[in-house]
């Protein structure tokens, strides 16, 4: 039996849960836009994890963004107690659990069993602690499609085509200062996202390939490249800078999360691996080429019609999701810089030049 959907007038206070990882938290920014549109003037709070709370530091849709370090120093009973106390005090009418993990289900279940539970509870798993769940869930579908199914279960129309991140003026000023220091103008450079989480290093296309692409972009199109990324990407970007020095500006580790949005929005296009920063870049709306190797582009593709994925075809080991050392890395080594260049130019809507392999 399908649970009854909440009535609009019954919902005054809403909690959204999304803890990790970066890409999934960015996808949740599209869901927040849909929730805010469906419930105008209501209180909407977000429970996430650090450092992803920084993505919502200037978000007018949210009344509160709170974090509990359930995986670190507040792991165990201490964090559970603080989380329950905080959520009970807010007396939410609706929770949209976009995490739907064992831990989030445990917390919501304890909330229901110990008093002051939330009346309407949406998640992507059928049964307790949820009373709103989607009729379909496809583990191979893009993450954002399953988020949309969860929203639909709560009667919330999902219309956002890409993530919506609100960038404060100070981030735009920092981004402009970076361009001024590098002697770059808006629309006159390409952003490269060559890193990935350290544990997923096989998702990296390779520093020498990015260096070759940067040289190609400069020699054929007169474009320099910005290297962007976080702490796990410092080594990769340093190698690219060493190999392609005059063609790149290395800002890896120098930017804050929301600086990436204007830096990508002002670029000609963006090229990156399957990494969380690619999802941040998708919010900028510029043409984005994502190079996929061991991960399935159907699942990991960032949101938006501006996104194109590249993957080697015809390999028996494709979509292996391997995290162990790989002695051939064929899924990445067969993707040539010329192919990435051509794909990016096509995605930007320009005439494709004749290029040599």
How does pLDDT run across 70-84, given as a tens digit for each residue? Answer: 988 888 899 999 999
3-state DSSP call for residue 342?
helix
Do 15 and 90 touch, CB atoms closer than 8 A? yes
List the domains of the chain with CATH numbers. 8-153 (3.40.50.2000), 169-347 (3.40.50.2000)
- Residue 290, beta-bridge partner list: 272, 309
Structure pTM? 0.93
Per-residue pLDDT of 28-40, as tens digits, reads 999 999 999 999 9
Do 340 and 190 touch, CB atoms closer than 8 A? no
d(CA 180, CA 182): 5
Low-confidence stretches of the chain (pLDDT < 50) are: 1-2, 352-357
- Residue 14, beta-bridge partner list: 44, 94
Do 65 and 35 touch, CB atoms closer than 8 A? no
- Residue 97, beta-bridge partner list: 17
Per-residue pLDDT of 102-161, as tens digits, reads 999 999 999 999 988 999 999 999 999 999 999 877 877 888 999 999 999 999 999 999
pLDDT of residue 354: 46
- The CA–CA distances, whole Å, from 238 to 54, 201, 260, 278 equal 25, 15, 19, 19
Q: Give the CA dihedral 320, 148, 344, 292, nearest 10 degrees.
A: -10
The continuous run of DSSP H or E covering 288 comes out as strand 288-291
Q: Between vectors from CA 203 to CA 198 and to CA 204, what angle results, nearest 5°? A: 80
């Amino acid at each position: 039996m399908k649970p009854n959907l909440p009535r609009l007038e019954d919902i005054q206070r809403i909690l959204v849960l999304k803890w990790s990882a970066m890409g999934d938290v960015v996808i949740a920014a599209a869901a927040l836009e849909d929730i805010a549109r469906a419930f105008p003037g209501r209180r909407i709070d977000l429970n996430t994890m650090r450092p992803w709370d920084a993505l919502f530091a200037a978000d007018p849709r949210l009344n509160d963004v709170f974090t509990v370090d359930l995986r670190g120093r507040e792991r165990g009973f201490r964090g559970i107690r603080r989380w329950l106390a905080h959520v009970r005090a807010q007396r939410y009418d609706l929770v949209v659990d976009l995490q739907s993990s064992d831990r989030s289900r445990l917390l919501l279940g304890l909330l229901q069993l110990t008093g002051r539970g939330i009346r309407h509870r949406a998640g992507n798993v059928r049964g307790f602690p949820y009373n709103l769940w989607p009729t379909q869930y496809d583990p191979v579908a893009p993450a954002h499609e399953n988020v949309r199914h969860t929203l639909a279960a709560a009667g919330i129309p999902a219309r956002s085509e890409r993530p919506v991140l609100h960038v404060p003026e100070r981030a735009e000023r920092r981004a402009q200062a970076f361009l001024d220091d590098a002697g770059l103008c808006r629309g006159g450079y390409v952003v490269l996202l060559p890193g990935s989480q350290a544990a997923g290093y096989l998702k990296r296309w390779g520093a020498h390939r990015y260096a070759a692409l940067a040289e190609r972009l400069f020699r054929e199109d007169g474009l320099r490249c910005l290297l962007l990324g976080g702490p796990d990407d410092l080594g990769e970007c340093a190698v690219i800078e060493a190999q392609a020095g005059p063609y790149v500006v290395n800002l890896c580790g120098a930017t804050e999360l929301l600086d990436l949005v204007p830096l990508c929005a002002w670029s000609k296009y963006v090229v990156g691996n399957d990494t969380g920063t690619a999802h941040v870049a998708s919010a900028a709306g510029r043409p984005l080429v994502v190079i996929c190797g061991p991960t399935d582009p159907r699942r990991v593709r960032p949101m938006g019609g501006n996104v194109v994925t590249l993957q080697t075809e015809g390999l028996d080991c494709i979509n292996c999701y391997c995290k162990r050392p790989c002695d051939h890395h064929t899924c990445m080594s067969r993707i040539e810089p010329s192919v990435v260049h051509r794909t990016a130019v096509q995605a930007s809507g320009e005439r494709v030049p004749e290029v040599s392999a």
